[in-house]
Structure 1
């Protein structure tokens, strides 16, 4: 069938607080994600994909703008995206696209979200903090006229139904649709993970990731519901693909699946995600559609900050020079020479922290005088160093070990460089107190990986 549009449609399927290892593509044995796994196998799978800020609002600001949270000013939750900030919606609208937003926004300080604070999206069916206006079987959002709308069904299904209706209405014109789910985030006021009824207790004691098995946290209480939410999200993804196929839009539509951050189940601190650990920062990410089909598995490290320029580039639109990430399209052509060998993470609220992740190493620092209202600091202290080759579940903190001083020295300079590239003011990093190393040894070559 001939293309009805010269421009590809774009759908972002965005989940909240989903660990990368919930997917079969990353080794989860429970069969929770057959649709994502098929997308990863037949499209483009970003195997090493990370958030640039492991908390809801800041991560969302980065994905909407292509700018680090310290650049937009949205470095923690409850800081609205400044009015006038250009988002993906603005860039796609300028190129003739219809734009729609459905679900959780979390970039305004109000409910309902008035038109100037919707980031430029034309069609609106959303709530600022969806967890506060809805429950698993009580989905309440607001429309373009700021009217309260109650959608029928389990929350994932309710939002998916709305997304499919949008696609159907706009099938003959190019559209950019952002569908932002709350699941598998916890329901705040109860601190639980309400799966659809059919999956209640379906995954109890079935499989626990090794970091949670070692550290515990709330995983025994919450993994069952969390997995049930992931299962229903994947079924929703399948329904979106079915809708595209039935409307003959599959070959005309780019679909991005990703999440804002992961979930450490209170193993690393007193909440769920604000830390440098893989459980907090690593997320499942895949593309499919024009330009992405059968491009395989990408092993380079990719950040959430790289996804906005990628979407624009893939749609044939210019990437603004102001964006702080870069398009991954060269990686699809296996042009990897200039791709960064690390990703940079800003951490807020639990601490004013910074981290860098390479293929092998994780290095993180924290400001001694951290406060919730500090976007950055002029002084940080070394806090964590992990060898992800020997210790993929980050159970042994190597910071300060004599054997790893050269590694810390190299990573310290790389982190400072990354901070500067993100537009941060110069800072000092205080080295950790030295510890004896035991049998551990690190060669200079290993330090550079």
Structure 2
């Protein structure tokens, strides 16, 4: 059967199929940019990421749009801020009717394939992907709704909100090595499935063989717990691992920092240097595993002769504090929590280049559309909170012309009201209603030790960034809507726990009866046998 060419409607531009690259998006989970070699960390071993950076472009100041999995990934997929999806915490449904970059590229004639974690919440576990090779690792339902009204002030993860009875401080203190981990088990399944599909696509001779493909392979490491098998843990035996500078003792912590440390239980006990070292060692060990994964994909692209026609993008959904500023895990607007790696390499991407403009994950939808030669109609692109980075990575520009600035949101657990941060040039403002502003000069003060919000001479930049934070956003209304959503989801979750349970978890489909050698017509010398 001959398939029709991609549909073109007014406002769309589709580049001829033969000139369009494949796109491989590799994702880590909870990987801070500061935990990788291309971003200056000399303690961690990431040779494959270093190589990818050398043959491509590093976005030096890339941010997530939420310091938590579900809202960050929804923003990445849609190009919208989490509040506009809406997808604000780890248990708010991602609406089926919101377009993603998978829809955009699929409509332009791409095969769209997903393997691994995307943490979609709701019965739609595809969101534009034609194929999904594995199930997800975390709940797709309303299980993780954690209402602000039940957390207290300061917020605590306790009681029914806990998972497995463990608090975060317990997780931190359990860092170390194990023969195998559930995260390795999951990630190896994802790697195997994605590499197998990549090989099949490279060898395909069917009527869709000429179609370009988009593959997202998303892994769960180096997400906590900070535990790794010996073959990765031992890579750091005898290697120096720098510990974070202790937070200043002469400045009272900001309420947002108090809230996050309370939620994670870090304030309930002493976190020793040894505990921090073990957590960092486990985190770096898992990061080295992710680096090996990147290497395996690059090797297979090269083996099958498609490396030169594939744009490879590497990123993460958010970061991890790892003790910086006396904080651990995520859920904060501090730099280690919100800065992510974003590296691109392949046809049309400048090699050995760095883009200095602060960018964020909402820029990926318009960027991938540009790289694929597809232009979404205005009723899709008008919702974009970012802009395409394609020109900057093609033209070796250090600046993304016309970039609107970075907006980061946090309306999830660990806070008691919606928070917004804005990053422009080298300044960052953190805003929450009825709390003191935080303003940092990230160039002069990368550790965010000096809050300039109340100091003379900084009113102009503070007010300008605050105006940007409040543009199109009412923090009081956002708080009311978030509380109402939490209440409703709690009610629905309680209802769905009664009676027969129908899972929203994705179930991969495998037609084993028609794979491998099943008759005398199957030729075992054919590399496509069994596909």
TM-score band by shorter chain is: 0.7 to 0.9
Task: Give the counterpart of 1:194 among 227, 230, 234.
Answer: 227
Q: 1:50 to 1:337 in 2, by over 3 A?
A: closer
1:95-244 pair list within 5 angstroms: 95-109=108-122, 114=123, 116-130=124-138, 137=180, 154-171=185-202, 172=209, 173-186=211-224, 192-203=225-236, 206-208=239-241, 212-215=244-247, 219-244=276-301
* SS at 1:213 equivalent: coil
CA contact (8 A) 2:114 2:132 kept: yes
Which structure would you say has the larger Rg? 2
Residues 295, 206 of structure 1: alpha-carbon distance in 2 compared, 3 angstrom cutoff: closer
1:324 aligns with one of 372, 385, 388: 385
- CA shift for structure 1 position 396: 3.3
- Indicate which of 438, 444, 450 corresponds to 1:384: 438
Match 1:366 to one of 414, 417, 432: 432
Which structure's residues are more often helix, by fraction? 2
Instruction: Tell me by how many angstroms 1:102 deviates.
Output: 0.9
Aligned to 1:446: none
- Report deviation, 1:397: 3.2
Tell me how far apart the structure 2 counterparts of residues 83 and 337 of structure 1 sit (CA, whole Å): 31
Within the candidate set 46, 50, 54, 1:37 is matched to 50
The residue aligned with 2:10 is: none
Q: Are 2:65 and 1:48 aligned?
A: no
Distance 2:127 2:297 in 1: 24
CA-to-partner distance for each residue in 1:138-197, whole Å, 9 max, x for gaps?
669xxxxxxxxxxxx7443332221111111122332111111110101xxxxx212232
Alignment-derived partner of residue 16 in structure 1: 29
Distance 1:426 1:55 in 2: 19
Structure 2 unmatched runs, 5+: 1-15, 140-162, 165-177, 203-208, 248-270, 478-531
CA change 1:383–1:207 in 2 (3 A) is farther
Instruction: Give CA deviations for 1:260-299 in whole Å, capped at 9, x if unaligned.
Output: 1110136558751111111111111110111114261111
Q: Secondary structure at the match of 1:166?
A: helix
The aligned residue for residue 373 of structure 1 is none
TM-score, normalised via structure 1 length: 0.78
Alignment: residue pair count: 385
2: distance between equivalents of 1:168 and 1:130?
27
Counterpart selection for 1:340 from 388, 403, 410: 403
What secondary structure sits across from 1:117 in the alignment? coil
Is residue 490 of structure 2 the alignment partner of residue 424 of structure 1? no
Q: Contact 2:116–2:187 at 8 Å: present in 1 too?
A: no
Give 1:89's match in structure 2, choosing from 87, 102, 123.
102
1:354 aligns with 2:420: yes
- Corresponding residue for residue 435 of structure 1: none
Following the alignment from structure 1 to structure 2, what is the Cα–Cα distance between the partners of residues 88 and 337? 20
The CA distance in 1 between the partners of 2:429 and 2:127, in whole Å, is 34
> Does structure 2 conserve the Cα–Cα contact (< 8 Å) formed by 1:154 and 1:196?
no
Moved more, 386-395 or 7-16: 386-395
Q: Given the two structures, how large is their TM-score scaled by the length of structure 2?
A: 0.66
In structure 2, C-alpha distance between the alignment counterparts of 1:224 and 1:273, rounded to whole Å: 18
CA distance in 2, matches of 1:414, 1:29: 33
Q: Output the CA distance in 2 between the equivalents of 1:41 and 1:346.
A: 32
Give the superposition deviation at 1:118. Answer: 1.9
Distance 1:391 1:99 in 2: 42
What's the CA shift for 1:137? 4.3
Corresponding residue SS for 1:176 = strand
* 1:308 corresponding residue in structure 2: 365
Normalized per residue, the structure richer in strand is 1
Number of the residue aligned with 1:413: 464
Partners of 2:241 and 2:454 lie apart in 1 by: 30
The CA distance in 2 between the partners of 1:335 and 1:299, in whole Å, is: 5
Q: Deviations over 1:77-103 (max 9, x none)?
A: 111211222112211211221111111
Residue 80 of structure 2 corresponds to which residue in structure 1?
A: 67
* CA drift at 1:419: 3.7
Instruction: Work out which structure has the larger RCO, using CA pairs closer than 8 Å and 6 or more positions apart in sequence.
Output: 2
Kindly indicate whether the alpha-carbon contact (under 8 Å) linking 2:354 and 2:398 is maintained by their aligned counterparts in 1. no
Distance 1:252 1:337 in 2: 24
Give the RMSD, CA atoms, in angstroms.
Answer: 2.9
Residues 270 and 281 (structure 1), Cα distance of their counterparts in 2 relative to 1, 3 Å cut: closer
Deviations 1:13-38 (A, max 9, x none): 01111111222222211351111111
Q: 1:415 to 1:119 in 2, by over 3 A?
A: same
CA distance in 2 between partners of 1:31 and 1:336 (Å) = 28
Q: Is 2:386–2:404's contact at 8 Å kept on the other side of the alignment?
A: no
